[in-house]
Chains A and B, each alone.
Chain A
Amino acid sequence: MSRSRLSFITLMVLALVVTACGDTAPSPGASQPAVSQPDVDPTESVGGAPSTAPSESQAGEPAPSAGRLAQVQDRGQLICGVNGSLPGFSFLDEDGQNTGFDADFCRALAAAVLGDPEAVEFRAINADQRGPALQTGDIDVLIRNTTWTVSRDTAWGLFAPTTFYDGQAIMVNSTLVDATTIDELEGAAICVQSGTTTELNLADRFAALDYQPIVFPEIDPTYAAYEDGRCDAVTSDRSQLVARRTAFANPDEHVILEEVMSKEPLGPVAPLGDDEWFNVVKWVVYATIEAEEQGIDSTNVADMVETSENPVVQRLLGVTPEGTDPFESGLGLEPDWVVTMIGAVGNYAEIYDRNLGPGTPFDLERGLNSLWTDDGLLYAPPYR
């Protein structure tokens, strides 16, 4: 009898563990719905405790009005959807850190909202999961080389200003395929990633040509299959082709065809239905651009706060000159958020150069991604 009692106790303890450990998934069939309040707390990353005190909302209270900005600040961490496998934009280095252009924009947003560039939970998301992840509100922002289109704007989320202007191109292995134009690729097998605009553009471009799409859900297999010779060509954003080509065994053999198949404006996306949060994301991008235009970078931002007499710079950095009213951006952020952000990750040029510029294996020209004053497309509205 004692053994059976022991088994029973064990069972009960396990059952307790179930309810205690937050097995919050619904349990049909069981008589009590064991939905416990998920812990909102395991948020602080090791090392940097967030400055805001996490005050959690009560379980029963409906709190639809709690905007995402407040949610993020309560949580003390920004959940940022990234690619995770694209060198130059976001990938895991040997220390397990997410690095790259997109990853740095996540950090910029975290610095702006939370004051800590490292208060980011990076979430690797594959192309097919982007829409659902935004729609369910599971991520606060998607910064994952995502192309701005009208249907995504209405169905997925709101697109913040483009951080990277790109265009779709096709790469071939010149030792195997003799082609200099896309039309010469009739009948070819072309590797492409599913759930991307490039997949759809490819179908458009080859509508009159015969071809075989080899579609992968993830970025690594796409390029691995191409390099192994499964496909005659691979198509994607030009920047991505350049970035992945650097990792090939013989990068020189691979040629990117001249033709630009499409416009690919890549930028951050915020979930639908929260204008306040969307504005924050939008102006974080603009602020990095504006900072470059005003010559503010991570090395001189502290001095600028002290010395700049330029009212544009003063407003941007939240400096209130004597005898004037403080400038109100209305974004719901600290007045000096730009100072924190630029100090932590730098302005647009710094982010670009650090990840894609001449010092990196990718060495991508700024091209369209220059300031409007340099004949590029980067143009931030006035910060006032």
Chain B
Amino acid sequence: MSGQGMGETLPPPRDVIGPAAWLRENLFSGWVNSVVTLLTGAAIIWLIVTIGAWAVSEARWTVVTNNLRLFLIGQYPADQAWRILLNLGLISVLAGLSAGAWGGATRAMAVTLSALQLMLAALVVASPLGIIPAGVLVLNAALVWVAFGFGLRGWIPRRPLLIAWVLSLPVSFLLISGVAGTPFPSVSSNVWGGLLLTVLLATVGILLSFPFGVLLALGRRSQLPVVSIMSTGYIEIIRGVPLVTILFMADIILPLFLPGEWRLDRVARAMGGITLFSAAYVAENVRGGLQAIPSGQIEASQALGLSGAQTNIHIVLPQALRAVIPANVGLFISLLKDTTLVTIIGLLELLGISRAILAQPDSFGAQMEVYVFIAAVFFILCYAMSQASYRLERALGVGTR
């Protein structure tokens, strides 16, 4: 290309920056590339136009808006729905405070939480639910930023905040299920449904399976053959069968194995099934983290006279668990998607309630609308979380330490 003659001044390179250069570099760098670009471009435009035309002119979105309450909270009593909004508010405050106190990945989480609530508010405005819940949602979204301001000033120390997070699970649970004879009357889990149930199943599933999974991972690496064999057997059996079969077991078979007078409600059984299932996967994640701990650390702690349990608690687990947090966020995402399987055993989570809605005479034939709506809800939730998990991965510096 170059090397014409020393005396000549080369013309300045043309188009190394600017839109034209970008196009040439990225889309039309050769004839193969150009053909590929044109073909795929045409296909994409056709796809977007077709789907767009359907979404704008043909689709009956009223099925979604008219049934929005069912989609969001299922048969949860309408006059108690404020408890869920209140719960969201509490989580919003906590998220805001944490974002202020820690920054980094928690800030991304707060942004997501507030954005999600604003989106939800927009949807609620379009539905017959009215302006009040939408207003509360907007308020919640704002609350995140108020709390963020407080958190930023460092008025709230981190440790109580951490404890508050740990407590938030039982508190949320109590708030949603309620206690008889209080301003929060008991609401049977039978009527929990929609998005509420989806999120609850996934959250409870991942949190409860975590300690169990850690125990299994330690058990698998145990030097006691009996413990190791039992843990390994459990992990491999669970990972070898589909979740539906486990849910089927939990829903249909489990009552046969419990004394006649013990009744577990159906949601609890599904949660149990999901927990037992995901524990095996958590265990494998944690095992990965455990294997990454150099044996020198363990030897050093033994040399210091720490017992096996002490070594695990003080040396091994803190490092291993930190390393597996991103992997567990990934697990949470897949668990959130997997909760749709409980519709096969008849629970009315987001997908299940949508099928009940499709049975209404008014919404017959609106399958595409309903399924696309659900897919969009899942996409937004999962995408937001996967983005948060990338940030978390970077913030924790996994792999760089």
Contact = CB atoms under 8 A, between A and B. Distances in A.
Are A and B bound to each other?
yes
Interface of A: 1, 3-8, 10-11, 13-15, 17-18, 20-30, 37-38, 40-47, 49, 57, 62-64, 66, 71, 75, 77, 84-87, 91-97, 121-126, 129, 132-133, 135-138, 217-220, 224, 227, 246-249, 361
A123 B190 contact: yes
Contacts of B207: 14, 17
Given A11-B214, A23-B271, A92 B166 contact: no
Given A123-B266, A124-B356, A137-B255, A247 B364 contact: yes
A37 B261 CA distance: 10
8 contacts: A4-B315, A14-B210, A21-B208, A23-B275, A85-B356, A91-B359, A91-B360, A94-B66
B212 to A, nearest CB: 7
Interface stretch (B100-108, B180-188, B290-298, B376-384): B180-188
Contacts of B212: 18, 27, 30
Given A8-B313, A361-B361, A42 B186 contact: yes
B365 A25 contact: no
Interface stretch (B18-26, B43-51, B67-75, B112-120): B67-75
Given A77-B188, A92-B357, 16 more contacts: A4-B318, A14-B207, A23-B275, A25-B272, A29-B227, A38-B263, A42-B177, A46-B186, A46-B187, A62-B259, A71-B261, A85-B356, A94-B70, A124-B348, A219-B359, A227-B365
Interface string B171-197: 001000110100001111111010000
B250 A29 contact: no
Given A7-B317, A18-B211, A121-B188, A23 B346 contact: no
B219 interface: yes
B223 to A, nearest CB: 16
A129 B346 contact: yes
A263 B36 CA distance: 63
Contacts of B268: 22, 24, 38
Nearest to A28: B234
B317 A8 contact: yes
A18 to B, nearest CB: 5
B375 interface: no
Interface of B: 66-67, 69-70, 74-75, 77-80, 159, 162, 166, 169-170, 173, 177-178, 180, 185-191, 193, 204, 207-208, 210-212, 214-216, 219, 227, 230-231, 234, 250-266, 268-269, 271-273, 275-276, 313-315, 317-318, 321, 344-346, 348, 353, 355-362, 364-365, 367
Max chain B C-beta neighbours (<10 A), residue from A29, A77, A93, A246 = A29
A136 B173 CA distance: 28
Given A123-B266, A123-B346, A42 B254 contact: no
B263 A40 contact: yes
A46 B185 contact: yes
B360 A42 contact: no
Contact of B189 (A10, A42, A97, A220): A42
A136 B70 contact: no
Contacts of B253: 132, 136
Contacts of B359: 84-87, 91-92, 219-220
A15 B269 CA distance: 18
Contact of B264 (A17, A24, A85, A361): A24
A93 to B, nearest CB: 7
A66 B211 contact: no
Contact of B231 (A29, A129, A217): A29
Main SS at interface, chain A: loop
Contact of A24 (B74, B193, B272): B272
B317 A18 contact: no
A71 B266 CA distance: 17
Max chain A C-beta neighbours (<10 A), residue from B230, B252, B261, B361 = B261
Contacts of A125: 346
Contact of A133 (B252, B269, B273, B275): B252
Given A38-B263, A96-B70, A247-B361, A26 B317 contact: no
B70 A124 contact: no
Contact of B186 (A13, A27, A44, A129): A44
A96 B273 contact: no
B396 to A, nearest CB: 13
Contact of B260 (A25, A49, A93, A137): A137
A136 B361 contact: no
B242 to A, nearest CB: 15
B131 to A, nearest CB: 19
A25 B255 CA distance: 10
Nearest to A1: B314
B263 A44 contact: no
A42 B321 CA distance: 35
Contacts of A5: 314
Given A24-B272, A96-B70, A248 B364 contact: yes
A121 B192 CA distance: 12
Contacts of A1: 314
Contacts of A42: 177-178, 186-189, 265
B261 A63 contact: yes
A43 B188 contact: yes
A21 B200 CA distance: 13
A25 B250 contact: yes
A47 B261 CA distance: 26
A177 B185 CA distance: 55
B180 to A, nearest CB: 6
A44 B365 contact: no
B230 A28 contact: yes
Nearest to A10: B166
A18 B211 CA distance: 8
A44 B179 CA distance: 10
Contact of B365 (A43, A94, A249): A249
A85 B370 CA distance: 16
B142 to A, nearest CB: 30
Contacts of A93: 360
Contacts of A44: 180, 185-186
> Which 7 A-B pairs give the minimum distances between C-beta atoms?
A25-B272, A96-B75, A4-B318, A85-B359, A136-B255, A132-B252, A247-B364
B276 A7 contact: no
B216 to A, nearest CB: 6
B254 A25 contact: yes
A252 B190 CA distance: 38
A94 B128 CA distance: 11
Contacts of A15: 211
A41 B265 CA distance: 11
B180 A11 contact: no
Nearest to B269: A25
Nearest to A223: B364
A184 B401 CA distance: 75
A278 B80 CA distance: 36
Contact of B74 (A57, A96, A219): A96
Nearest to A86: B359
Contacts of B162: 6, 10
